[in-house]
Amino acid sequence: MKLLTFKSHAEAPPHLGVAVGDCIVDLTQQLANPPANMQGLIEGWTHYRAEVTRIAAVARPDLTLAEATLLAPVQRPGKILGIGLNYADHVAESGMAKPEHQLWFAKMPTSVQPPYGIVELPKVSAALDYEAELAFVIGKRCRHVPRAQAAEVIFGYCAANDVSVRDWQLRTSQFMLGKSFDTHCPFGPWIVTPDELGDPHQLNITCTVNGEVRQHSNTEHLIFRCADMIEHLSQVMTLEPGDLILTGTPGGVGAGFTPPRWLTAGDVVEVVIDKIGTLRHVVTPES
């Protein structure tokens, strides 16, 4: 299934939905006791799953995808965690050594952005960069998860753009500020459940800027895989339903060119991942 958060019009409250073809079935209207948001649906998935599956199969669509405004599937994740240097070609273009241990940073929840719309060019920097990434959403509260059981705590998968402000990212050893500017974590366009996606490590991933392919790879080239990440992170912290995990970007980022090819106002950035979909954003000066 493809589960999403949407508005039917600008003044409408957010609703939960399931994408069926090019249409949306409104779960907030169709469920007998709908949860307030996607976190609630994820937390109660054992209760909701059968009903959502039935509704998706038999209900008439409520509107088309073109008529709706898609929001970030999880509008305020409790945690957004990103792994760095997780494709060998990106390690090489960064001029850094292949990491012996997983390299993690946080993006703040205020960086969340819908799957379509704008990404802001900050007032304080011109070093704006893109990073196409596979992301996954945690489905169960968990700690100390063995690698062999890690798939059990993944609710589903999204496309993400780990937008980065490179001078802020690299001026200290801690990446958080350069990764956390407002609008710099677009993801979606929905959450694809594991039963529909299949193997998350066999997906083509592409990023284009104004139609030019800048990144093209496959998730089979991840250095640390999704199960490795869950095992590692859950040794440190409790992972909770709705937490968003970004799995790293392949080579081809703007910083990897000589000279760097930073994003500028008016650029159109698209991230496409097999079996998931497309993110599309226009770079717009910060208001």
**Residues 111-141: pLDDT tens digits?**
999 999 999 999 999 999 999 999 999 999 9
Regarding whether 86 and 67 lie in a shared domain, the answer is: no
Regarding whether 143 and 55 lie in a shared domain, the answer is: no
Single-letter code of the amino acid located at 61 = P
CA 142, 76, 36, 117 dihedral sign is negative
What percentage of residues in the chain have a pLDDT greater than 70? 100
Predicted local confidence at residue 96, as pLDDT: 80
Pairing of strands 268-273, 2-7: unpaired
DSSP secondary structure of 44-94: THHHHHHHHHHHHHHSPPSEEGGGSEEE-SSSS-S-EEEEES-BHHHHHHH
138-181 pLDDT, tens digit each: 999 999 999 999 999 999 999 999 999 999 999 999 999 999 99
Provide the mean pLDDT of the chain. Answer: 97
- Residues 190 and 241: their CA atoms lie apart, in Å, by 16
Distance from first CA to last CA of the chain, Å, rounded? 37
Supply the DSSP symbol for 166. H
Predicted local confidence at residue 89, as pLDDT: 86
Q: How many CA atoms lie within 13 A of 38 on its CB side?
A: 31
Regarding whether 198 and 132 lie in a shared domain, the answer is: yes
Regarding whether 220 and 108 lie in a shared domain, the answer is: yes
Single-letter code of the amino acid located at 53 = T
In total, how many domains does the chain have? 2
Here the tokens at position 191 are 């959450």
CATH for 185? 3.90.850.10
Predicted local confidence at residue 94, as pLDDT: 82
Q: How many CA atoms lie within 13 A of 71 on its CB side?
A: 19
Regarding whether 180 and 117 lie in a shared domain, the answer is: yes
Regarding whether 236 and 103 lie in a shared domain, the answer is: yes
Average the pLDDT over 75-80 and give the result. Answer: 98
Regarding whether 120 and 238 lie in a shared domain, the answer is: yes
Among 9-13, 48-52, 223-227, where is mean pLDDT lowest? 9-13
Going from the C-alpha of 42 to that of each of 59, 208, 209, 227, the distances in angstroms are 21, 32, 33, 19
pLDDT band at 97 (very low <50, low <70, confident <90, very high): confident
207-243 pLDDT, tens digit each: 999 999 999 999 999 999 999 999 999 999 999 999 9
Domain endpoint, select from 42, 71, 100: 71
Here the tokens at position 111 are 């960086």
The residue range of the domain holding 54 is: 2-71
Regarding whether 206 and 66 lie in a shared domain, the answer is: no
Domain endpoint, select from 24, 41, 71: 71
- Residues 52 and 1: their CA atoms lie apart, in Å, by 9
- Sort 235 into a burial class: Cβ within 10 Å, 0-12 / 13-18 / 19+: exposed
Regarding whether 160 and 49 lie in a shared domain, the answer is: no
Regarding whether 215 and 186 lie in a shared domain, the answer is: yes
237-259 pLDDT, tens digit each: 999 999 999 999 999 999 999 99
Regarding whether 262 and 140 lie in a shared domain, the answer is: yes
SS3 123: coil
What percentage of residues in the chain have a pLDDT greater than 90? 94
171-194 pLDDT, tens digit each: 999 999 999 999 999 999 999 999
Regarding whether 109 and 37 lie in a shared domain, the answer is: no
Domain endpoint, select from 48, 71, 94: 71
**Does residue 99 register a pLDDT over 90?**
no
User: Angle at the Cα of 229 (from 73 to 178), degrees rounded to 5?
Assistant: 65
Of 23, 24, 18, the residue nearest 191 (C-alpha): 18
Here the tokens at position 127 are 């070093």
Tell me whether the omega of the peptide bond preceding residue 189 falls within 30 degrees of 0, making it cis: yes
- Residues 219 and 86: their CA atoms lie apart, in Å, by 10
Predicted local confidence at residue 5, as pLDDT: 98
